Amino acid sequence: MLSPDREQEFPNLAGSGYQRTSGESSDYNCVAWAAGETHTWYDAMFPHLWPRGLPRSPLLRSYVRLFESHGYAVCEDAGIEEGFEKIALYTDEFGAFTHAARQLENGWWTSKLGDWEDIEHPSLENVSSGSYGTVAAILRRPIESSSGNQ
Amino acid sequence: MATMSYEQTGATAYRRLYLVPPSPSLSEGDSRLLLSEDTASPNQDALFAELRQLADEWYRETGMFSVMHHKMMHPAYQRITNMYGRSAIPFILSELKARKGHWFVALSAITGENLIPEDELGNVPAMRERWLEWGRRNHYIDYRSYVIAR
């Protein structure tokens, strides 16, 4: 479990049955974690890693393009789909990207909470409505093309 | 840029400011700039106490964010970067070493330096070490009494 002060940042998390699955780390962020990496901080803001040629913008479209460069494509449904792994991207009220979560084989989702811990949670709504806003895009990629998943 | 307080800008307006302009930092001759074990003064202690309060507020209120445009737009981060400028460098470097926060944007904005080579972008431990080495080389990491006090 997260500490109470951290848990309260996510109004739909308490009582969901979520699990904390790591200690805290500032060495990687939710974007890296969603892409299956734990040694990188992807961020549109210099001096963090960002694919060459993509605009360094905080808006959703730029983060969709980042994940497209990792083999993902936008899809409609967040349900389990055999042969695919999925991620969900969240935005705030201004359309700025806030968070990425990755779907697990059992249908739960895994999230790296900023500089805080990783958690596994039953639904996308568990980390919405607070600091992360709402889900704005779902993407998927064939499991065969994934690289280095944790 | 004139520094705006959180109260002046409102809780959401700061999110719209996506760029940190060069800091109108304190002058090079500011007596608080050169910190060392032997020259620590009540003024310096007060400076570090002010910065400690702002930094703690920033960690507490932005630790859940995975993207820098949300972290750096927090009023406390803006105040440290734009109001304190170079006088905050010893404190920021000690934070970088002790708490491993994401101070890279602030350090670049204050100093005008871009230390991170292309192949280390997003590699947080390497980025951290680049700045700590810069601090040692430029005599910003001398304030041992402060480090011990923490």
Binary contact (B100, A26; C-beta < 8 A): yes
pLDDT at B141: 80
Query: Does any CB of chain B come closer than 8 Å to the CB of residue A43?
Result: yes
B:30-89 residues touching chain A, CB 8 A cutoff: 59-60, 62-70, 72
pLDDT at B99: 86
- pLDDT class of B35 with cuts at 50, 70, 90: very low
- pLDDT class of B148 with cuts at 50, 70, 90: very low
- Report the DSSP beta bridge partners of residue A75: A138
- pLDDT class of B142 with cuts at 50, 70, 90: low
DSSP assignment letter at B15: G
Whether the predicted pLDDT of B45 surpasses 90: no
Binary contact (B123, A40; C-beta < 8 A): yes
- Distance, in Å, from the CA atom of B100 to the CA atom of A112, rounded to the nearest integer, reads 17
- Distance, in Å, from the CA atom of A87 to the CA atom of A140, rounded to the nearest integer, reads 6
Whether the predicted pLDDT of B96 surpasses 90: yes
DSSP assignment letter at A38: S
Query: Does any CB of chain A come closer than 8 Å to the CB of residue B137?
Result: no
For residues B122-137, average pLDDT? 96
User: Average per-residue pLDDT in chain B?
Assistant: 75
pLDDT at B43: 77
- pLDDT class of B41 with cuts at 50, 70, 90: low
For residues B133-147, average pLDDT? 74
Q: Compute mean pLDDT per 10 residues along chain A, 150 residues long, and list them.
A: 94 96 96 95 95 94 96 96 97 96 97 97 95 96 64
- pLDDT class of B149 with cuts at 50, 70, 90: very low
> How many C-beta atoms lie closer than 10 Å to residue B5's C-beta?
10
